Amino acid sequence: MRGLLILVLILTSTSVKGQLLTVLDKNDTPVSFVHVRFTDIDNKESIIISNDMGVAKLPNDLNKQAGILTLISHISHVTYLDTLLFIEDITIHLEPSEILLDQVVVTAQMTENISENAVQKIKIIDQKRIAAQGAVSLRDLLEQETNVRLSQDNILGSSISIQGVSGQNVKILMDGVPIIGRLNGNIDVSQINLNNIERIEIVEGPLSVNYGTDALAGTINLISKKSGESNLFINSYYETVGKYNLDCLMNYSANNHQLSLSGGRNYFDGWSPSDNFRLIPTATIADTNRYKQWKPKEQYFARAQDVFSKNEWSIRTYADFFFEEILNRGFPRMPYFETAFDDIYNTWRKNLGVDFNTKVNDKNLSVIVSYNNYKRIKNTYFNELTTLEEVISENEADQDTSVFNSVMSRGSFGGAFSENISTEIGYDIVIEEARGRRIEGNTQNQGDFALYSNTEWRPSDKLIIRPGVRLSYNTDYTAPLAPSIHIKYNYKKFILRSSFAKGFRAPSLKDLYFEFVDINHNIVGNPNLKAENSNNYQLSVDWKNIRNNYIIRGEMSFFYNDIHDLITLANTADDAYSYINIGKYKTLGTKANINVTYEFIKFNAGVSYIGRQNDIDEVAPYSYALEWISNCTYEITKWNSKVAVYYKNTGALPSFWMNAEGEVLESTIDGYQMMDVTYSWSNPRNPLKVVVGCKNAFDVKNVNSISGLPGAHQSDASGMSVGYGRTFFTSLKWSLK
């Protein structure tokens, strides 16, 4: 009897063995409410949720004789996927994901840091959001960010403003190297492609200590992908408005080298409100429909990068190239619509550089040297529409070439020098040359040499005080001293950050050396200009509460920008105009955001209220604009899918201006709403990932801008381009590992 009992026990125990999956985190604490999906060799699937001991029991009806594909997912941990053989009970340790760990940031940090520990308030947009939103260029992402407003000019491109301050005061960096080539002070953010970008770090408020000029309103740093594996990705993107994009990325890793090559082409066939939908572009008749509100654009880009890392040091060498052609077909001319003037704008960007990083006695040493070139050519053609014969226009003013060349180098050395003091010291040199038609002498050079230093003092483990200062010498203007001070205090679940920083914007080469003198005009630059100066005050509070199946984060922030010596065009003598430092511009605002992650739902809502005052005498009142965003993603693990909704409501933007009689008048740009809805499908065993969706669900095209600005040279803007109506897109990514 006892023998039989033992036999039964042995028999039942062998079938009981190899049935339990225990999920622990890296501290050996059980992780409960974990979703586990088992798929056996016969493709039979079963989903189990772990109990509060972190245990999930393998269902009996699965075939345990071969390996079982096991997918374990939990909100605050990295998804685990592997084929397991359940001979014995198995215990798996999960890695904490970025939500728990907080994300890595590098912008203006002495060493690689996590965003929770950074003294500055840094917003991160990661790869998941870029993919889920179907974003192709930086413009697509910023369309859904608070405190960032986009302004579209269909030839000059998309320009941005942060905290109410215009894009000429926003520094855009690629891996820490400034992007050059500003038109009227703005960088066209639709020229910045995201195919190679890992994440984007956005800092509001001046980072002038580290980055010098143009970082007055904020800094956007794009961090490129640096993969440690060998793989190949091919991506295609199609949008019903007429966008056909293809790009590929290849990574190869061997012998301490990580080589990466990427390239692609984006094509947009233009859009006008009267356009009919066509799946594939066809030849069209040269009638009045040839004029498009959104111009056809073709972009080519390519990049090669090598990262060599050994022990403590790494060298990254890169070269990238970008070409864009914008075709502006003119409206056929009265009275017979048989001729037209067409413009073609070609832009080339070339960037080469070397980035060297190492550790010396536990302190970070990094040096970057980079060469950047930007060229933009405008050509105008006179087109005979009855024969389609094109002749390059003889008028000298119709052809234009602008070239910017710049060589920059930045280096920094810093780290912890004692238990509670870290210091870094760095240099930043930029030498640039600009060539163009309306520049005095047609060529101008400028050299900027700066030294900067930041110190972080931790008197307690809750408080960090970081003063910083930058001293620069510039060959063209007197660069101001730029000090800043940041304070960060941790109190229970709250993080308080407060800062004061001075920012500046150098007079551009156009402000200094512009020359437009003919019989009817007299506008010259002013070589004695000073830099624009600003004082920025910020205060923010962040709060985070982590529970087992939900995480809540909230933030609230205030800012105040006071810009003086704003460079404005003013009447200097009878008929002569020049640029002088007399303008004043103030912005102030507040932003609040709440973020909830519950099981597989992530929800985010935010509101921002910004006031702007633009006026020399400070007579005009502040004009306020409200915007709020809301987005939500829902992961459906059963179907390997994710549904995401992104919504932004940009409120009406009033502005005040003074007419010749000294009366203060108001003009308004209407508000609008942008919503994108996307569906992503991604099965880990399938090399194909698909994202489909609808962009601009509210079909927004133009918004009214009631300006009524007078003057001989102002056109009455009846509508501003904001979007091209509702579109549908598909994004297919195929990968080979």
Partner 1 sequence: MRFFLCIIIAASITGCNQGEIPISPHASGDLETTMIEIGSEYKNQIFYNLESNSVVSQNEKTDWDLGFLTGVDDWHIVINSSKAGGIWRVENLDFEDTPEIEDAVWEFDSPNGNLDSTAIDDYRNSDKFYVVDLGYSSTEEQLGYVKLKIDSVNESGYFIRTADLAHEQESFVFIEKDADLHRVCFSFSENFAVDIEPLSSDWDMLFTQYTNLFYDPFSAYLVTGVLINSQYISVAVDSEKEFNEITYEDIESYSFSSNQDVIGYDWKDFDFDSGFYLIYAEKNYIIKDGLDQYFKIHFIDFYDDLGEKGHPTFEIQQL
Query: Which residues sit at the interface with partner 1, rule CB under 8 A?
Result: 234-238, 242-246, 265, 267-269, 280-287, 290, 296, 298, 327, 330-331, 333-339, 341, 380-382, 384-388, 391-395, 397-398, 518-520, 575, 687-688, 713, 715, 732, 734
Rounded CA separation 404/374 (Å): 5
Least CB distance to partner 1 at residue 341 (A): 5
- CA distances 600 to 596, 613, 635, 638, Å, are 11, 43, 5, 11
Sign of the Cα pseudo-torsion (205, 210, 214, 220, in order): negative
Give CA angle at 650 (648, 654), nearest 5°: 175
CB of 724 to partner 1, least distance (A): 15
**Contact between 186 and 161 (Cβ < 8 Å):** no
**Rounded Cα gap, residues 213 and 480, in angstroms:** 10
Q: Minimum CB separation from partner 1 for residue 376, in Å?
A: 16
CA–CA dist 483, 452 (Å, integer)? 9
Nearest to 298 by CA among 322, 324, 321, 264: 324
Question: For strand 664-669 and strand 577-598, is the pairing parallel, antiparallel, or unpaired?
Answer: unpaired
Vertex 600: Cα angle to 597 and 605 (nearest 5): 35
Minimum distance, C-beta of residue 381 to partner 1, in the bound complex (Å):
7
Q: Which is nearer to partner 1, 706 or 736 (CB)?
A: 736
Helix or strand holding residue 625 (H, E): strand 623-636
β-pairing verdict for 389-392 and 400-418: unpaired
Residue closer to partner 1, measured from CB, 341 or 427: 341
CB 244 to partner 1: min, Å: 3
Residue closer to partner 1 by CB (options 232, 429) is 232
**Distance between CA atoms of residues 456 and 499, nearest Å:** 13
Residues whose CB is less than 8 angstroms from the CB of residue 533 and which lie 6 or more positions away in sequence, other chains included: 480, 502, 503, 504, 563, 564, 565
d(CA 150, CA 145): 10
Least Å from the CB of residue 653 to partner 1: 22
Beta carbon nearer to partner 1, 344 or 652: 344
Output the smallest distance, CB 380 to partner 1, in A: 7
How near is the Cβ of 266 to partner 1 at its closest, in Å? 9
Q: Which residue, 270 or 414, has its beta carbon nearer to partner 1?
A: 270
Looking at the DSSP bridge assignments, the partners of residue 510 are: none
Nearest approach, Cβ of 265 to partner 1 (angstroms)? 8
Nearest to 408 by CA among 392, 390, 422, 429: 429
Q: How far is the CB of 697 from partner 1 (least distance, A)?
A: 23
In this complex, which beta carbon is closest to partner 1, that of residue 265 or of residue 438?
Answer: 265
Token digits of residue 705: 């801008």
- Residue 485, classified by CB atoms within 10 Å of its CB into exposed (0-12), middle (13-18) or buried (19+), is middle
- Pick 297 or 470: Cβ nearer partner 1: 297
List the Cα angle 349/290/700 in 5-degree steps: 75
Residue 2 or 713: the one with the smaller Cβ distance to partner 1 is 713
Q: From the CB of 159, what's the least distance to partner 1, in Å?
A: 17
Q: Name which of 38 and 268 has its Cβ closer to partner 1.
A: 268
CB atoms within 10 A of CB 560: 17
* Minimum separation from the CB atom of position 53 to partner 1 (A): 41
The residue among 254 and 280 lying less far from partner 1, judged by its C-beta, is 280
Whether omega before 59 lies within 30 degrees of 0, making that bond cis, reads: no
- Rank residues 481 and 688 by Cβ distance to partner 1 and give the closer one: 688
Cβ contact 694:737 at 8 Å: no
CB of 515 to partner 1, least distance (A): 13
Identify which of residues 265 and 437 has a Cβ nearer to partner 1 in the complex.
265
DSSP state of 333: P
- Residue 32 or 379: the one with the smaller Cβ distance to partner 1 is 379
Is the Cβ–Cβ distance between 206 and 216 less than 8 Å? yes
Cβ atoms 53, 91 nearer than 8 A:
no
